[in-house]
Structure 1
Amino acid sequence: MSDQFYADARLYDRLFPGGDRAVAFYRAEADRHGGSVLELGSGTGHKLIPIAADGHPCTGLERSPAMLGEARRKAAERGVEVEWVQGDMRELDLGRTFDLVVIAANSLLHLQTSEELVGCLRSVRRHLAPGGRLVLDVFNPSVRMLALADGVRRRREASSYVDPDRGVVHVDVAETYDAAAQVTRGSWYFSSDTEADFLVAPLEIRSIFPQELPLLLSLGGLRLVERHGDWSREPFTADAALQICVCEPD
């Protein structure tokens, strides 16, 4: 589950600071479907806190204690009430239902086997209120990019960030792709000008291909009703970077 990668929540927020369009999309989905919202893999609350600020009763389930602690801090700072729950989406059992369940920012891809994925989706189905929806986003796998995952360490320029103590931090990544498992296994190396490799964190991410996704949802008791290729709700196409999916009980 790549626990070490999520052990420093503030580093995570510096590494992935954007996502305003994604936040706007999920806020609109919460308004569209109304009622209570559950986010699985809620991280530091980047999406759920704004949804709660709009007046929706919100629950965030997160496995990492560090991410959960930062989410609590940020919500308190903004004066927003969210129910934060430490837990694993593979073992979801909250004993109640929700009008909207969200699995954002590739969080579903930490589940590496089909059994884990289907089990999670079946649990989501049980947690949906009548008329409820699941909305998720995962990347659209690029065969070209997967083929480049050759284990060579390369600089990831887009991931450089400024740390208040270390200054500019550079990020290198070395990845390999296991085609049989559909899992990319990588090591992320964080270095400053004065401290090389002060953190080396593994990250493993599953790929879910476009024809595979509706089948997994169906096995989980869900049906894909909308699939967008970007946050402006353009139709999903072969070259889209994202698969943004709206699902309902089958």
Structure 2
Amino acid sequence: MQRDPSPSGNEPSGKWFQDWFNHPFYLRIYSHRDRDEAARCVQTILRLTDPEGTASQGLTVLDIACGAGRHALELRKLGCRVTANDLSPYLLEQARIEAERHSLDIRFTCRDMRNIDERASYGLAVQLFTSFGYFEAPEDDRIVLEAVHRALVPGGKYVLDLINPRHLERTLVPHSVRRSGELAVEETRSIEDGRIRKDIIITSDSGETVSFTESVRLFQPDTITGMLSEAGLRPMSIAGSYHGEAFDPLNSPRLIIISGKD
């Protein structure tokens, strides 16, 4: 999730993700998102999109908003041919370093997700860890879905991983304070105008303090499946967690929609 840093307390500009995802503190406060979680998520995705387990070797995959490459690396380890895209040069560089360290051949591209321009190039596109709904205008989200549709081959599949709004409303923690290594992290959360907003204040032991705001649109299942259908992506199934359980509207933490291009 993300928006522009706003240390002055002013309203974020709507491009919070450009600055926050390029800040070294981002990876440090989310260090609990580890390789084991990524591996479990990828294995679930491949099982749900390819029940017979025959397609991963050589499958062309686009990882949209790949971040530091946790999922891209796991997909490559399983034999997929992976293109990993992100807007953040910093996160892409961290992903490249990890790929080189593990001798994994991954293609990296640095683009706004609205500007993905490949046509009929991928058998699978994934967009994971709440990396959809950043933009202020809903039309921009539709542009992303249309770009995904163009990028997929006929019969290709798209996995979109979102927060389940009803579960979030029940379990939201409005305020928390924690430590991540030498960083003190204070987080304030609220749901405003159909978006989940998180205000973050980070203070290092050396005394440096920075502030950021994350803001992501929340999607009800009927709304996002309708948007997918309008973009030519036919919803096929919905999972409720990275373990792949069937979606429960009240209790599932995630809203993971698998759709296909006919």
Same fold by TM-score greater than 0.5: yes
Aligned pair partner of 1:217 in 215, 218, 228:
228
Contact 1:225 1:248 in 2 (8 A): yes
1:8 maps to amino acid: H
Q: Superposition RMSD on alpha carbons, in Å?
A: 2.2
Residue in structure 2 matching 1:102, options 126, 129, 140: 126
Unaligned residue ranges in structure 1 (runs of 5+): none
Among residues 115, 119, 122, which one is paired with 1:91 in the alignment? 115
CA contact (8 A) 1:134 1:246 kept: yes
Change (3 A) 1:54 1:237: same
Q: Aligned equivalents of 1:221 and 1:156: distance in 2?
A: 43
Cα gap change, 1:145/1:29 in structure 2, threshold over 3 Å: closer, same or farther? closer
Could you tell me which amino acid in structure 2 is paired with residue 218 of structure 1?
S
Which of 5, 25, 36 matches 2:41?
25
Cα separation, 2, equivalents of 1:207 and 1:28? 23
Task: Identify which of 189, 198, 207 aligns with 1:186.
Answer: 198
Q: 1:94-243, aligned counterparts within 5 Å?
A: 94-141=118-165, 142-144=168-170, 154-157=175-178, 160-162=179-181, 167=182, 169-179=183-193, 182-195=194-207, 198-238=209-249, 239-243=251-255
What's the TM-score, normalizing by structure 2?
0.81
Distance 2:41 2:187 in 1: 29
Match of 2:101 in 1: 77
Q: What's the offset of the Cα at 1:52?
A: 0.9
C-alpha separation in 2, matches of 1:78 and 1:213: 36
**In structure 2, what is the Cα distance between the partners aligned to 1:67 and 1:233?**
27
Secondary structure, in 3 states, of the residue corresponding to 1:79? coil
1:43 paired residue number: 67
SS state at 2:99 partner: helix
Aligned to 2:22: 7
Q: Is the 8 A contact 2:40 2:243 kept in 1?
A: no
Alpha-carbon deviation of 1:58? 0.5
Residue 94 of structure 1: how far off its partner (Å): 2.5
Distance 1:199 1:219 in 2: 40
Q: CA deviation at 1:135?
A: 0.9
What SS is found at the alignment partner of 2:237? strand
The Cα shift of 1:206 comes to 1.1
Q: Return the offset for 1:39.
A: 0.6
Paired AA for residue 186 in structure 2: D
Task: Tell me if structure 1 keeps the 8 A contact 2:28–2:180.
Answer: no
Q: C-alpha separation between the residues in 2 aligned to 1:156 and 1:22? A: 25
Q: Contact between 1:173 and 1:189, CA under 8 Å: does it hold in 2? A: yes
Farther off after superposition, 93-102 or 76-85: 93-102
Q: Name the amino acid aligned to 1:219.
A: E
